[in-house]
Structure 1
Amino acid sequence: MIKGKEKLIVAIDTNEFDKAKELIDKLEDSVDIFKVGLEQYVSTRGKTVDYLKEKGKKIFLDLKFHDIPNTMESAVRAAVRDNVWLMTIHVSDMEGMRRCALAAKEEAAKLNIEKPLIVGVTVLTSLSNQDLADIGCNLNTEELAIKRAKLAKESGIDGVVCSAQEVHKIVEACGNDFITVCPGIRPASSEVGDQKRVVTPADAIKRGAHYLVVGRPITQAQNPNESATSIVAEIENA
């Protein structure tokens, strides 16, 4: 049986530490994995990461490293030392991704800790086919995501971030062991917001997603714990 708590990642979408701390406390019993994004990390100077470690929660550090290989490698090593569970890089040049994969293994071995997962961002879920055309890309979102997923697998990183709309194609192309993390997840009753390519939790699991990232439907709910528990149930009943 699928364990919903092992699949659900809650995105902390506030830039204030006190509000993040309050949210984590409210969700302590229903959520095991939290995503700390760029705005949250910078605005709190990493304090939320420290608090999550104090609470024994798994940390998805979503900073989407994208730079020259040396810089990306150093950033990955620093994230490993911070004992995060999962981190993101952008799917970019093969050398950079390979060096990130190797750096994570080496640093974890040096510290005698479990190696964190590295997943590559394929196509941001806020982008549409027209957005890609506007920047000169002649592939649609699905085609580009699949192409980048194949590159990510070849590089040796653990998986990708992708829309649940194309996750089944990525599983077909890269195999069931290649991790897929899907943002843009919205229960049927929720507002779409600024995400253009969204899928319900049950549908995402049926399509082969390993992990689901949910933000506002939980964090802005009147009862975040109740909302999270409902989504966990939806995952388990998929």
Structure 2
Amino acid sequence: MIQRPNRAGIIAALDTQSPEQAEAWAEALAPHVGCLKLGLEFFVANGPAAVARIAPHRPLFLDLKFHDIPNTVAGAVRSACALAPAMLTIHAGGGPAMVQAARRAAEEFGPDRPAILAVTVLTSTDAATLSATGVSGGPAQQVLRLARLALEAGADGLVCSPREVSLLRDAHGTGPLLVVPGIRPAGSAAGDQSRIATPEETADAGADWLVIGRPITAAPDPAAAAAAIAASLHP
């Protein structure tokens, strides 16, 4: 599995449907980031062959957020493992049996298997959204609830917003890998994220990996933007 960085590492989110754009970003950003994220938008548009084009540049965070019956998720994990991602996401809300099935399927690939990361509450979700779907108590309580469920079922780590990092460290210590989207350098627009923080704040709270997309890829010089964020984390 992927190694835990000494201080929070950067995952560059290559959020595009274009393989050419993704590969150009990958080449430019590889010297400044530790991992590259490909998600549903890219995968659905292009399929596994395009993912394989990006893989040589940096370890891959394949963010497909599987959520289905356990047998289907296990099969999807096996298929995804053929692409040798370093990290792979499932939804914690799928329940313990689904998380266990994903972990067992990944273990079939031995020590080089991907880390199975359970997504708790999406960074675009606020208390009103949770309430509309019948979940009471707000995002923090739901993150803690789903985190405990997922970790007890065998997840290697969690995806959470910056606001829950310290809560999860207090509850579960340094064991779980914490991968954190919703990162916005000071002065950046929040976009469609509702629970955000700066890279430095999130690293100080105990995050392992920071998922950063538009603040890097929408910058006039993405490589320079990534280098500046990396420098702020490792002064």
TM superposition score category, shorter chain reference? over 0.9
Q: How does 1:110-189 map to 2 (within 5 A)?
A: 114-189=112-187
CA shift digits 1:146-180 (9 cap, x unpaired):
11001111001101100010111111112211111
Q: How does 1:184-195 map to 2 (within 5 A)?
A: 184-195=182-193
**Structure 1 equivalent of residue 212 of structure 2:** 214
The residue type equivalent to 1:179 in the other structure is L
**Structure 2 equivalent of residue 87 of structure 1:** 88
State the shift of 1:128 in Å. 0.6
Structure 2 Cα separation of the partners of residues 95 and 225 of structure 1: 41
The residue type equivalent to 2:131 in the other structure is A
Task: Give the secondary structure class of the aligned counterpart of 1:83.
Answer: coil
State the shift of 1:32 in Å. 3.1
Structure 1 Cα separation of the partners of residues 42 and 53 of structure 2: 13
Task: Give the secondary structure class of the aligned counterpart of 1:232.
Answer: helix
Q: Out of 32, 49, 52, which is 2:51 matched to?
A: 49
Q: How many residues of Structure 1 are paired with residues of Structure 2 in the alignment?
A: 230
Q: Out of 87, 105, 114, which is 1:103 matched to?
A: 105
TM-score norm. by structure 2 comes to 0.94
CA shift digits 1:106-161 (9 cap, x unpaired):
2x13xxx5121010010000011011111111120000001100111100110110
Identical-pair percentage:
38
Give the aligned CA root-mean-square deviation in angstroms: 1.4
Q: Which runs of 5+ in 1 are unaligned?
A: none
Q: Which runs of 5+ in 2 are unaligned?
A: none
Instruction: Kindly indicate whether residue 61 of structure 2 is the aligned counterpart of residue 63 of structure 1.
Output: no
State the shift of 1:235 in Å. 1.6
Structure 2 Cα separation of the partners of residues 219 and 233 of structure 1: 17
Cα distance change, pair 3–93 in 1 and its aligned pair in 2 (3 A): closer
Structure 1 Cα separation of the partners of residues 54 and 175 of structure 2: 27
The residue type equivalent to 2:62 in the other structure is L
Structure 1 Cα separation of the partners of residues 211 and 144 of structure 2: 20
